[in-house]
Structure 1
Amino acid sequence: MGLKQQLKSYRLQKGWTQKMLAEKLNVSDKTISSWETGRSYPDIALLLQLSELFQISLDEFLRGDTPTIKRIDRDLKVKKVYQRILITLVVAMVGLLIFFNVYQYRNQWVDRFNPFLALTTGYATLPAKVTYNGGNQYQKSTAKLQVSDPYTDIWVVESPFGAGTRLSFQGGQAPPNKHYVLIQHKGLYVKRLSFIPWTSIPANYRAIMAEKYRRLPAATNEPVHH
């Protein structure tokens, strides 16, 4: 006898309607009807509840219905696979979030995709001249490609109270009389910058900035953003 026949037989022996059995299992009577017609079957948790309600062993309840047993076994294996995948994804996500939280302001490419960091705007004073190709002065009479060196260890002021961040970024030679920069960054990742004159910087920022570029020592007591 198949599971669907077993269900109906034991239900009728108890004198229960489909609705009465459904209420005991906290499912709909349509679900019971679907089981008894073979359109679907209960999961393992409901099968255990049914065996308790009918006061028979699970083995006896499923005896003779090999196709259903195989389907249940297959579904259980699939569920285990999905559970392992889900656990792996959760562990990987937690690990990634911890990594982003701990590894802030250490690498610009990591900061670029860090969900914990917001875009920040600040102002900075730049050196009047940049070097090229690793510390060389610009040469007008050469056919050699000359690539400007990045600005390094530039103090970017992000608050009128002096909070800021040291950044290194590629920008090229600043135009004449525009040796200042309005910069938008996310951690160490510089998203965009614009060369501006001194007068374009708000007065409350100019009051705490150096008008002429000066290289900062290796360690300062200046407040930092991060």
Structure 2
Amino acid sequence: MKIIISVIVMLSLLLILFFTNDKFDRFNPLLSEETSFAIVKLNTQKYDNVTVYSKDGKKLNYKLSFGGYDPNKQFVQIEHKGTYVKNIKYIKKYELPPNIR
């Protein structure tokens, strides 16, 4: 019985650690919230597979998908935890980190 419980616990931990899915990431205690930046397409409010950059201008190894509210803006600051997007804010080009512009 102990072996079965141990296997279930280990499989659950592996699922949480290795699957990057916004539903897992939202509640994953091992991930911290971070702020990133992106340049998105104009004339749309649904952004899929957007390349995001850290505050240092480094490209993150995953892409985000999220909805927007202003199709005329192109530069976005994103608060996220892994692939779970908590909040977005449209910003001006000069507010982007220099090596992303």
TM interval, shorter chain, is 0.7 to 0.9
Q: How large is the Cα RMSD of the aligned pairs?
A: 2.2
Instruction: Name the count of aligned residue pairs.
Output: 99
Alignment match, 2:52 = 156
Alignment match, 1:172 = 69
Measured after TM superposition, the shift of residue 89 of structure 1 is 5.0
Measured after TM superposition, the shift of residue 199 of structure 1 is 2.1
Q: Distance in 1 between matches of 2:9 and 2:90?
A: 39
Tell me if 1:129 matches 2:26.
no
2:67 alignment partner AA: Q
Structure-2-length-normalised TM-score = 0.78
Choose 1 or 2 for highest CA Rg.
1
Q: Distance in 2 between matches of 1:170 and 1:158?
A: 20
Relative to its length, the structure with more helix (as a share) is: 1
Structure-1-length-normalised TM-score = 0.39
Relative to its length, the structure with more strand (as a share) is: 2
1:187 alignment partner AA: G
1:180 alignment partner AA: F
Q: Which runs of 5+ in 1 are unaligned?
A: 1-83, 131-147, 211-226
Tell me, yes or no, if the aligned pair for 2:37 and 2:55 is still in contact at 8 Å.
Answer: no
2:25 alignment partner AA: D
Tell me, yes or no, if the aligned pair for 1:100 and 1:115 is still in contact at 8 Å.
Answer: no
